[in-house]
C-alpha cells in the first residue's frame, strides 16, 4: 500500500464517520417526533379496543421515509475527502502536506499508526432518543388498560329481545310456521345477543331489536287474522251439504286465498296445513267427514290462539259481549271478560242541553254573567224637535261627579285648602 492510498483511505473513513454523524443527528430527532406521535395514536386505539397493527406498520414506514429524507439532506452537502485531509493535517500536525499532496504539490507523508480525526461518538446523545422512544412504545403497548367491570355491563337483555325470544319458543313448540322462516328470526336474534354486553343498549342495537320485534309482531297479527278467517270459513263448511254449488265455490275460493296469503307472508304457515287449505274444492268439502272438518278447524283455532298469546288478542268487530251476558254464564263474575268491541254504541247523552244557574251571588266572579234577559229596545221614530245648527240642545250634566271621581284622595285634600 502506497502512502497516497494510506492517507486517502484514512480520509475516506473520516468523511464516512462525519457524514454518518450528521445523518444520525437529523434522523434521531425526526424519529423521536414520529415515535411520540405513534405512541399517542397507539394508546388512543387501544383505549378504543381497535387493532393497532396498522399503526405499527405506519410507524415503520414513516421511519424509513425519514431516513431517506435525512440521507438526501446530508448528501446535498457531504463532508468530502479533501475536507477530511485538511482535518488530518490539523490533527496530525502535518502543516497542510496532505492537502498539498492531494493537489499534486509535494510528496505524501509517510504512513503512521493510529491515524484519527480526534473526534469520538457521543453515545449518550445517540442513545437518549432511542431510549425515550423505546420506553414510550413499550409503555403504550404493554400497559394494561382498565378492564370493564362485570357489574357495569348489563345483565338483562332489552325487553324487545326477551319478548321476541318467547315468541320464537312458543312458535317452535307449536310447529305452526315454516321452519326456515322461524330459523331466520332465531339467527337474527342470536346475532343481536352475540354482541358485547356493553353494546346491548346502544342506539343501533336497540333500533335493530325494536324493528325486528315490530316486524315479527305485525306478521303474527296478519297470520292470526287469516287463521281466524279460515276457522270461520271451516265452520261454514260444516253445512256444505245444504249449500248450493255457487256458495261452495265462493267458500273454496276464500279458503284458497287465505291459504295463499298465509303461505306467502313474512311468516309463512306450515306447508302441510297450508297445502290442506289450498287443496279444498266444492266436491272435497262434501266428501269430508265431520271429524276431519273439526280437526282442521281445531288446528286453525289453536294456531290463532298461539298468535294471540304472542302479540295479544286481535280485536274484531263482532267479538264483544252482548248486553246482559256474563263470561261465566251467570251474574256474579266467574272469569275475565272478553276483550272486544260492541256494535251497539252507548248513549252518553252528549246532545242533551241543560241549563246551569247559581243564585248565590256572593260567589260570583268578576266578569261572570249573572243573568240574561230577553227584551226589545224602545225606539222613538218621531222627530226630536227643531234645533239650530251647531247649537247645544242641553246643558251638560254630571260634570260634578266626574270632577270628584277623577281626583285621588291626595289631590282632593290639596284642592280643599284653596276651594272651600
Q: 269 φ, ψ to 5°?
A: -75, 160
Residue matched to cell numbers 475527502: 81
At 233-273, the pLDDT tens digits run: 777 766 666 667 777 777 777 777 777 777 777 778 777 77
- Three-state secondary structure call for residue 177: strand
**Please, which pLDDT band fits residue 323 given cuts at 50, 70 and 90?**
very low
Report how far residue 249's alpha carbon sits from residue 258's, in angstroms, rounded to the nearest whole number: 14
Q: What is the pTM assigned to this prediction?
A: 0.40
Helical ranges in 51-147 per DSSP H: 53-76, 81-92, 97-102, 123-142
At 119-130, the pLDDT tens digits run: 888 888 889 999
Residue matched to cell numbers 243573568: 371
Selected residue with higher pLDDT from 92 and 407 = 92
CB burial of residue 133 (10 Å; 0-12, 13-18, 19+): buried
At 369-403, the pLDDT tens digits run: 666 677 777 777 766 666 555 555 555 555 444 44
Report how far residue 253's alpha carbon sits from residue 353's, in angstroms, rounded to the nearest whole number: 53
Q: Which range, 25-29, 355-359, 409-413, is most confident?
A: 25-29
Domain residue limits, the chain:
3-142, 159-311
Report how far residue 13's alpha carbon sits from residue 81's, in angstroms, rounded to the nearest whole number: 9
Give Rg (Cα) of the chain.
52
- Three-state secondary structure call for residue 20: helix
Report how far residue 319's alpha carbon sits from residue 199's, in angstroms, rounded to the nearest whole number: 44
Given a cut of 70, is residue 22 above it in pLDDT?
A: yes
Provide the grid cell at 39.
405512541
Amino acid at each position: 500500500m502506497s502512502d497516497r492510498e494510506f492517507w486517502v483511505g484514512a480520509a475516506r473513513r473520516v468523511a464516512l464517520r462525519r457524514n454518518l454523524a450528521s445523518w444520525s443527528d437529523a434522523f434521531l430527532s425526526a424519529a423521536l417526533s414520529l415515535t411520540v406521535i405513534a405512541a399517542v395514536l397507539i394508546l388512543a386505539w387501544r383505549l378504543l379496543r381497535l387493532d393497532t397493527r396498522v399503526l405499527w406498520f405506519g410507524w415503520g414506514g414513516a421511519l424509513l421515509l425519514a431516513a431517506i429524507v435525512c440521507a438526501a439532506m446530508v448528501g446535498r452537502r457531504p463532508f468530502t475527502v479533501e475536507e477530511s485531509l485538511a482535518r488530518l493535517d490539523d490533527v496530525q500536525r502535518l502543516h497542510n502536506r496532505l492537502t498539498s499532496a492531494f493537489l499534486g504539490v509535494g510528496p505524501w507523508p509517510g504512513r503512521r499508526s493510529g491515524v484519527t480525526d480526534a473526534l469520538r461518538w457521543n453515545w449518550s446523545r445517540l442513545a437518549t432518543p432511542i431510549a425515550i422512544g423505546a420506553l414510550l412504545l413499550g409503555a403504550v403497548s404493554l400497559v394494561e388498560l382498565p378492564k370493564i367491570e362485570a357489574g357495569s355491563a348489563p345483565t338483562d337483555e332489552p325487553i324487545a329481545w326477551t319478548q321476541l325470544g318467547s315468541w320464537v319458543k312458543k312458535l317452535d313448540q307449536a310447529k305452526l310456521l315454516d321452519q326456515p322462516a322461524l330459523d331466520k328470526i332465531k339467527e337474527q336474534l342470536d346475532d343481536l345477543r352475540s354482541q358485547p354486553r356493553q353494546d346491548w343498549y346502544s342506539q343501533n342495537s336497540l333500533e335493530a331489536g325494536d324493528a325486528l320485534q315490530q316486524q315479527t309482531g305485525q306478521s303474527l297479527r296478519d297470520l292470526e287474522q287469516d287463521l281466524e278467517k279460515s276457522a270461520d270459513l271451516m265452520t261454514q263448511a260444516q253445512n256444505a251439504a245444504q249449500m248450493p254449488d255457487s256458495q261452495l265455490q265462493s267458500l273454496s275460493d276464500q279458503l284458497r286465498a287465505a291459504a295463499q296469503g298465509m303461505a306467502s307472508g313474512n311468516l309463512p304457515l306450515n306447508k302441510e296445513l297450508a297445502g290442506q287449505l289450498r287443496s279444498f274444492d266444492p266436491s272435497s268439502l262434501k266428501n269430508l267427514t265431520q271429524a276431519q272438518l273439526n280437526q282442521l278447524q281445531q288446528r286453525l283455532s289453536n294456531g290463532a290462539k298461539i298468535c294471540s298469546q304472542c302479540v295479544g288478542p286481535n280485536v274484531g268487530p263482532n267479538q264483544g259481549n252482548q248486553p246482559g251476558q256474563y263470561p261465566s254464564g251467570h251474574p256474579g263474575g266467574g272469569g275475565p271478560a272478553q276483550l272486544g268491541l260492541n256494535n251497539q254504541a252507548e248513549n252518553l247523552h252528549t246532545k242533551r242541553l241543560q241549563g246551569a244557574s247559581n243564585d248565590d251571588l256572593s260567589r260570583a266572579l268578576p266578569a261572570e254573567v249573572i243573568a240574561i234577559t230577553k227584551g226589545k229596545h224602545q225606539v222613538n221614530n218621531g222627530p226630536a224637535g227643531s234645533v239650530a245648527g251647531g247649537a247645544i240642545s242641553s246643558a251638560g250634566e254630571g260634570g260634578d261627579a266626574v270632577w270628584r271621581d277623577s281626583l285621588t284622595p291626595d289631590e282632593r285634600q290639596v284642592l280643599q285648602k284653596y276651594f272651600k
